[in-house]
Structures are given as structure tokens and as C-alpha cells.
Amino acid sequence: MKGNLLETMHIQPITKVYETEAKELVLKGLEEHFGFIDDTCNPDLESIMDSYSQEKTIFLIGICESKVVCTGAISCESLEVGRVERMSVIKNYRRAGLAKRMIASLEIWAKEQGYRQLVLETNNDWYSAINFYKDRQYQRYLNDGMCSHFKKSLS
């Protein structure tokens, strides 16, 4: 099933049709990690279409059988630096390579936009996320006690 899922999934920019489903996927992932949702920490999810419609920003979704199975976004940190955000995969679909495809798609898009570097952060106790980014050649440049901050050169 999982191998087939990777083959049949396609990645596309978010559309209004999938906005609510994508928001729910991201929030469910956060709830799994934290045990609760703090609505004040997620204003960009109130209108994903608006939040990620600025120049040099994108919110991608992975679709399989008309269902959103993963998400990923890039926002503009500076002219040459993009920030990876909102990486999430539905729990039952994890470990199937979907996040790998999503981050690769984001990196390709970022290069096309002229970004020379991507940055991101993840909680220090999210070991699978930390290992995922390290495996993709993201380098930790800061540990602030709660979060690990990573960067990757795209040139």
C-alpha cells in the first residue's frame, strides 16, 4: 500500500477546495506532538490561500485519491532565504517516502524562485523530524534549548 501511495501521490499548490483539509492535517499533526492546539500559534492556517499567496511563498499539498496526505510550505525569510514550514504527513501514511517527495518538491520550487538557502526549525524532542532533515543535508546551526534551527544551501 505505502509503495503504491508514493507512486500515485501528486504534489500541487494548494487550492481553495483543499484548504480546510490541509489545515486539519497540519493541526492534527501538531496535536499529536503537543497533546493540544494553541490557536494563537497558527494564524497562517486561518486562510492558507491568503497567507501563502505573497511573492516567493508557496503551500504545497500531496494528493492521493482526492485526499490530502501531506503538506509543506515555504515563506520568504529574505530575498535569497526561504523558510520551510508546515511539513506534515497523515499519521497512517508516514514512513512511505511522502515527506521526502514533499521536501524535494519544495527545494526545486525554491531554486526556481532564486532562493540560495532554506532554513527551518523543529522542536528538540521531535527526533524523527531532526533525523529527517539531517538525512536531507540540512545542517543544524542553532539549538536554542527548545528548537533546533537548520539551514541548507541550494547552490
* Contact criterion met (CB below 8 Å) for 85 and 96: no
DSSP string of 12-53, one letter each residue: EE--GGGHHHHHHHHHHHHHHHHSS--GGG-GGGTTHHHHT-
For the domain that residue 141 is a member of, what is the CATH number?
3.40.630.30
> What share of the chain in percent tops pLDDT 70?
96
pLDDT digits (tens, 9 = 90+) for 104-129: 999 999 999 999 999 999 999 989 99
What are the tens digits of pLDDT across the range 77-108?
999 999 999 999 998 888 889 999 999 999 99
**Which residues, in sequence order, are CB contacts of 91 under 8 Å at separation 6+?**
28, 29, 32
What's the rounded mean pLDDT across residues 58-74? 96
User: Taking residues 27-38, what's their average pLDDT?
Assistant: 82
Radius of gyration, alpha carbons of the chain = 15
Distance CA 135, CA 76 (A): 24
Q: How many CB atoms lie within 10 A of CB 75?
A: 17
Whole-prediction pTM: 0.92
How does residue 32 score in pLDDT terms, banded at 50, 70 and 90?
Answer: confident
Residue 142: domain span: 2-153
pLDDT tier for residue 1 given thresholds of 50, 70 and 90:
very low
**Who contacts 96 (Cβ-Cβ below 8 Å, separation ≥6)?**
2, 3, 5, 6
H helix runs in 11-155, sequence order:
19-34, 48-51, 98-112, 127-135
How crowded is the C-beta side of 70, counted as CA atoms within 13 Å? Answer: 25
How many domains are there within the chain?
1
According to DSSP, residue 113 is labeled T
